Structure 1
Amino acid sequence: MNDRVSAFFDAFRVASDTLDTETLAGCFADAFLTADPAGARPVTRDLFLQALPRRAQMFADAGVGRAALTDLRVQALDDHYRLVRTEWSAPRTDGGDPVLLSSSFLLHDDGEAMRIVLYLNHQGLT
């Protein structure tokens, strides 16, 4: 099972790096919950995908490069759900210390595909 989750996040990471919205669309449920320190809110996949270019620009404007996945921990909750804790490191374009990011994901596995149903960012960009 962890191999499937690792493969899922490999595809997710590559699609995120290139803003491949077609592949990213397959990674998310039609509607899912997104959460951060400010709170939680439901969002549709289409609205989330539309926001990704702005998010990428926000990182670029802050002088932060593409994040690399540095740690992935998987906990099976039952036959259909996996709680995945991820750690990411994004280089600063000015050469300073990298930005460390943490996110957790709740994946639903229907037996054929996994999709994100909860996307929790543990901190904002600093």
Structure 2
Amino acid sequence: MNLDEKIKQELESEAKKLDKILAHEPGIFNMLANAYKGALGGWLILVGIFTFLITLLLFWAGYQFFLVTELNYEQKIFWGLVMIFVGMVQIALKMWTFMEMNRQSTNREIKRLEMSIERLVNTLIKTKEA
């Protein structure tokens, strides 16, 4: 067996291990639920309510912009700008929510690594003492 085949086999075995690890990752709804249980859960609830209200405003501005015909051009420009601004606010709020979900997930993984390292150190200390 040459070096290229060995490298290929190692990469395939690592890919299988990663697939097993990723298969046990929680889905997006579980990640969102964990974020609400975290330290900033109250803020997430507040942001969720505010995002819902912003969405209603976005639909209202879209209705005013596209469907109401007796508006003059100045009002159409106003409602168009409201739609753009509110859409940007909604994007920012959703990005913050997803970043919080990512932060919670990363913290959980760091804690798992800390616990694994602590177990490894304790095992090494016990074997060294024996």
TM-score for both structures, normalised by structure 2? 0.27
Kindly indicate whether structure 1 or structure 2 has the higher relative contact order, using CA contacts under 8 Å at least 6 residues apart.
Answer: 2
Bigger share in helix: 2
Q: Which has the larger radius of gyration?
A: 2
Bigger share in strand: 1
TM-score for both structures, normalised by structure 1? 0.28
